[in-house]
Structure 1
């Protein structure tokens, strides 16, 4: 897709709000504006019904019940609620260890560190292989009856690695550990209808699935809800798990986006994969030395391509591409942090290799022409950098 004259290849950072989603949201800004927690009049009742319908749509996406969905401000808050909320209820208990993979989103890693600092839990990082896949041996070795929680993302946000949550769930069940899964990158690209059978908690984000920003959700299994302490206090909305007046338009938008993602995943996924492959193969035919970071093309997020341009700086390439093409050096949530990607370092890349890597992510509206033009723009940007005096291995 193009935004003005810019080819947009950063869909894992955020997606445009689907116009069908926007249409469903609009009435709740000015006409059906009632507070969904106003229980004494019809405007409140109507808003509450819209919230319930949205929760049902989100639940249907992952095979859950609507009362297992807690709306949040985004996946970052959902991750915080899952980890911190559970840990707060288990302070001074026999389960005092938390395991997270080394390639988790910063909102999981930072929350885990805060739990360790504030509540005294032991937090241990689980290693991954060169493709970003969790070491199941390391997980097995670390599991015991004192593990409270294991947090593993379904799809990595930088290199697109897809975790085998079925096997992970089986391992954790033996020891009674809670399984939290950050699923922000998954809706619309993998089928999630069985997700609720394999995880205890799952975080979702509206703006990663063509819904609005500012809204997310946490799936919390029924049996776990009385063990989750709220991290936001107030009026006790959402079964006292998360207080605050719910933003009806945003909830409606997330519900609509979830329904579209659920109903179109089978047709969207192969299209994304074909266009992503076209991009990677096209870059590989250029005269520059490139490499794909992470899993092979057949076994990753269908829209993800994390490409290394050896001898170049990714930041220099992206700057040279402006304002013609939008991509990123990694997670948008760590933008501005002057350090190599922790994900790329965890899979064994050197600092120089990590700093030469760009994440391209295609979306529903990406066209074949977008891909061809992007390849040409990248080729010209690299030539421009070389002609400017940069020494590059060709």
Structure 2
């Protein structure tokens, strides 16, 4: 248990009740495996014919491989840990105004392999977090540089003005519209649900129509700002060769929902690519997002998400804070990993197609060792972790990229945007401390 000056626990942990049984099983199974391998070895030495020799050798090799696989996974079962957070205690320990800001990184690359509506649902699910709105910034990295993805996010920004207050008013837990409407509901919210569902279907139809056409038709472009944004997609614009595109779709200082409440920042980013550039990005688009977000918001906490892995709990960010704000844990904490949950992969799931062992069982065992591994999505990083430990801190050349820098300008300001475009350039890492050192560390983390 970890408590604070108020005596309120932010999180607790306890070993699994199966720990002793796991250890006994490992010893018994290990002895049986050694006996089996010994039997194969003796049979091999006593083989009288060439056929029996090769058959026994095959058994010995195959069982040795299985024994190796068994031995190397037993550490996950020696000390599995169950953790529990108490986000309700955060309000008594820290004022919401003092919560650290949160930058969310959502990655996508191909609107045909990764449908834009998946990106929309993921973005909306985190925009609806139970977290101070002005402290949340959602960055969508489109490594394919597709106007289709940008259009979908523009539609999402409009729909968010209705969806966020709906979730807030009705305490919605499943804040991804697609997941929420997949469940039949006949409650007192039926009229509200029907209205918001109609709006979602209309938005989904527009995005689908644009995706099928392969381009954003003029009838879907309504404002001067949108015209300027899509004018960047010229005939020379390709996936492998295009300039940087950074589009602020929502700004928390000015954009409001239908109830008059402010909405989170929503920013589209597509890094520059050039066929003539000889430099290759390390850690790819996420590395660029790390720099661009530092210039625009520089939140001390970063959440990384795949475009099709929506968040299914609005309390997620608060649960992560239970560890990040713990003074006993903070000095040695790099990230907090949430498990991936797969649903509907196979209705008759007799082969464990939901990947429970990889994403739910093994991480608990690693928790009892040195901590869970990074699964690539659903991970809350401390920005400071990307710059090395206290003894080997790697300061970037531009002061604004430092994790300690305080952004005091609007994200739309010319100074901020100019510097953001600069650090998103494909040649930025050439001959810089970031390219030589920091990005190599980030490649291991991201």
TM over 0.5: no
TM-score (norm. length: structure 2): 0.24
State the structure with bigger RCO (CA 8 A, min sep 6), 1 or 2. 1
TM-score (norm. length: structure 1): 0.26
